[in-house]
Structure 1
Amino acid sequence: MRANFLAHVAQTSPAPMALEIAGGHGCYLTDTDGRDYLDLIAGIGVSVLGHNNPVVVDAVREQAGKYMHTLVYGEFILAPQAEYARLLADHLPANLNNVYFVNSGTEATEGAMKLAKRATGRREIISAIRSYHGSTQGAASLQYPHDFTEAFQPLLPDIAHLDFNCDYCLHRITEKTAAVILETVQAEWGIRKPRREWLRAVRERCTEVGALLIFDEIQAGMGRTGTLWAFQQYDVTPDILLLAKGFGGGMPLGAFIARREVMQLLTDAPVLGHITTFGGHPVSCAAGLATLKKLVGGEGLIESVKHKEALFHELLVHPKIKQIRSAGLWMAVELSDFDEVRATIKKCLDLGLITDWFLWNERSLRIAPPLIITEEEIRQACAIILKSLED
């Protein structure tokens, strides 16, 4: 398998972890030698209910036993899609009542950019410096600096940028702007939260000039930050919401969500304004629906996030740790430099713990475990991190 992997599976870095995964259970992944690894990144925030969660697995099996792929959009009524969309609408503000299911976060970004241009008749999209909204050409166009995109220029024109939490930068949002797209918490810069008053000022400026406000909660949504949606903590509502990762419960699924009257613009002039073959796949929607039902089902999973966040802060104390930035069960543990981060990640892996780094912050360890992680598992994880720093 290792030879096949290295020879025939495209890799995105010169040094992949190359763990050969045989199974998963809860917060653990198991390799082919039978060794368990405590997973602190959950597939980059995807497996919010852990690996092989029986609720999700049962939903996938049940739906796969009925039907899988059909005509996904425009013709057939598919119960997993319709039920999931209704449950989402029940747990979102009234203006976010229409769901366009896609395959991934980057496609959610692409769809939202097209929708914003169609709705406003404008071309300019503004994003934040050091943001990450995906790797397809449209989504990648939003990145600045160009470290990860320079080799693929030219990308989309009419992209502008502002600094996160910068009051002075708001003047860049004008009557030429179709949309401002922001991560509710900046992920790849190492977990940077917005100031409440700044996010409100962005909302007010967008409303003033007629631009749409898009919140990217591809990583921040589904309870990760301690509320179902991170924007709930700021009392600011976007015009379009982007979801993916944990949204599919471990299956490939994303969505962009807006007011129905706005979303209907994709049905005319031109017809088929945005189409996708596999977006909203019934099995993926069944998995996502089961996940959201579990999260809002009164078991206290989301409510436990803040306590678990505090426990990580309490236990991760070491002279080499410069700072811990967190938004619920989503943390950046800052060390001195990338060499120290890389060595720590390797040592953690040797000791049975999976962690990672960030695209725009090479000095920090990424922590984003399944929300089901227990206090005992948190203590175990922190002990391994501290030992790795010592070694």
Structure 2
Amino acid sequence: MNYVINPDFKLIYAKESTEELFFKHTWKDMLIQISQCEWEILSHLVNNRDENKTLAYMMQSYDADQSILNQLIQYSQEIELLILEDALEEYQKQKTIFQKQSLSTWKMGISQLLSYISIPIEFIGRGNLRFYKIAKIPLEKTWMETWAKNYWTQNLSQILALFIMVIGIGQVIFKPQFIEHWLEFELLSSPYLLPFLLLGLLFSTFLHEFAHYIIYLKHGGLVADLGFSFVLGFIPFVHINTNSLHFWENQRHRIEVIVAGIILDISLLMGINIILNWNIDTIWMSHWQFLQCFIAFRIAFNAIPFIPGTDGYFLLSEYLHEPALFHEASRALNKCKSTLFRKEVNKLKPKDYLYVSYIIMSYCFITAYYCLLALWIIVPYFISIIP
């Protein structure tokens, strides 16, 4: 029997210290972990198309027999990492049928349109009102990956961000009229206010996420996706899925990826000061100032460690060495509720009480964040329609 490696599994991280490999299924979002030696054996089997040769190869390096090879093949088939060559065509047909069934007419039209410019979009349609995932674009072998991997791009983007930040801060320090402008700030209405803010939101968020992506690739990240989502059911949002970051052993590199977006946001905040120094129409200046307020709002809330998904949350997770901080806090809360209502007796530790305090604070900040975010988007709309 001839086997092939499932092309839908992508290597997202290779852990050198333990020789573990992590693969992710591109459209099922399934994560698997195998050892380097298991991968070498499977690769040998696929390339040589002979189980006897693979068994001989195994016995040269490992204390193994036919049963161990059979177990590895069976397990690899169960998780669909290994597929019979004769069954690959049927697997691809099932994949195509599944994808077509999950795509409406307009989604299919968008997919075909983007395929002409080599953008392979994948629609997801999963989540809840708070955060609903719409689609993702795999960045592997795209112009974005090529550009972000470029040595000069990586270094010049960091230098440019720091340069803009310094110039912007300098204008605030050495030109007192900026403070006067802020004291006189007034949100003026125009037909372009809402589109300007939405485009500014999308573009600045994209730059924020792309900053994460550049540093992610700089430190050896492999696979990432550009995701599109709705926050609160109607606010468009873009984000980069750095699939392997929490597997990295170098904590300093993980932290650099996390803070890259924060530094970019501060650069944008200060960079708008340069635009405000130009001689532009009062209404447009008002729009730029409001966008600057929004970026400042995002920086403040993005630094809060009580909101899962923010950079502040990931920094706290790094500090506590707890990658699943919110889930651990949720478990502690459930234990506390079970004990409180006498459903079962749990021995609570001091750590559990800290987690419960964290989860309560988290719910409060999450509610405040999304209420204020919705307010910042809705208020300009009402101002724009008021005569």
Larger radius of gyration: 2
Q: TM-score, normalised by structure 2?
A: 0.21
The structure carrying a bigger helix percent of its residues is 2
Bigger relative contact order (CA 8 A; separation at least 6) = 1
